[in-house]
Structure formats: C-alpha cells, structure tokens
Structure 1
Amino acid sequence: MNNQTTRLIRLTEVMNRTGYGKAWIYRLISEGRFPTQIKIGSRAVAFIESEIDDWIQATIDETRKNAA
C-alpha cells in the first residue's frame, strides 16, 4: 500500500461517485467485479477510497479503449 493516508468512505459516497445504486454495487461485489467493503464496526462497513478511485479509472480506461 502507498504511504499516503488511507481514507475510508461509506456506501453513500460510493453511490455518488459511481452513479450506481446499493443493490447494483452489491451485485458487482458478489460477481467479483467491484472492490469489496471492509467491516469497521459491528453493523458498519466502508470502502477503501483508493480502491474505488482505481476501479473508476479502470472502468473509464476500458470504456475509452473499447470506443477507439
């Protein structure tokens, strides 16, 4: 992992960044196509911001590659 601070973000922010709904995000996770969440409490989960950012960039790159 890199030396910068690892930031955790909640599902609401992931939904805002991706434009996906909760059910679709969890479906992609179950299919191994989206970064998995981590448990941060007995009833709370979060996502690692850098993993979400990397996923978004990879999705953009893949789309651009296929469009060319």
Structure 2
Amino acid sequence: MNDNHQLLSLNDAARLTSLSRSMINRYRSEGKFPKAVPLGEKRVAFVASEVREWIAEKVALRAAA
C-alpha cells in the first residue's frame, strides 16, 4: 500500500503522537493538526504521511530552539 494513502484511526494517531484524543480534536479545531478524512457519519481517519510530517515539524522546532 502506498503510504500516501495509508489511513490512521484517531486512536492510532493518538498513539503515534502521544497525544490524547481530546487534544488531537482540540488541535484539529484550531487548525493545528492534519485534516481528517471523513469515512462515515461518525468515523474519521488521518493520512499517515501527514501525521508523520506533523511529528517531524515538531521535532524540527525543538532542534531549532
């Protein structure tokens, strides 16, 4: 599977980022987290490569400080 199309559930994104689901949702509402892909009425997922890029940006900010 092409990583550009691999999807992560909210729980998987939380595990990968070490953030809680509520913090991810807060960041989403503030435009500070990758946009979700709607999968159904109450189901969303995140593009894995975008979440990994978001993590890399956070690491780069630490390195720049």
Q: Give TM-score, length-normalised by structure 1.
A: 0.85
Paired residues, what number? Answer: 63
Residue 60 of structure 2 corresponds to 61
The percentage of counterpart residues that share the same residue type is 29
One-letter code of the match for 1:39?
P
Please identify runs of 4+ aligned residues in structure 1 that moved more than 3 A: none
Gaps of 5+ in 1: none
Structure 2 counterparts to residues 38-53 of structure 1, below 5 A: 38-53=37-52
Residue 17 of structure 1 corresponds to 16
Q: State the alpha-carbon separation in 1 of the partners of residues 11 and 40 from structure 2.
A: 17
Gaps of 5+ in 2: none
Larger radius of gyration: 1
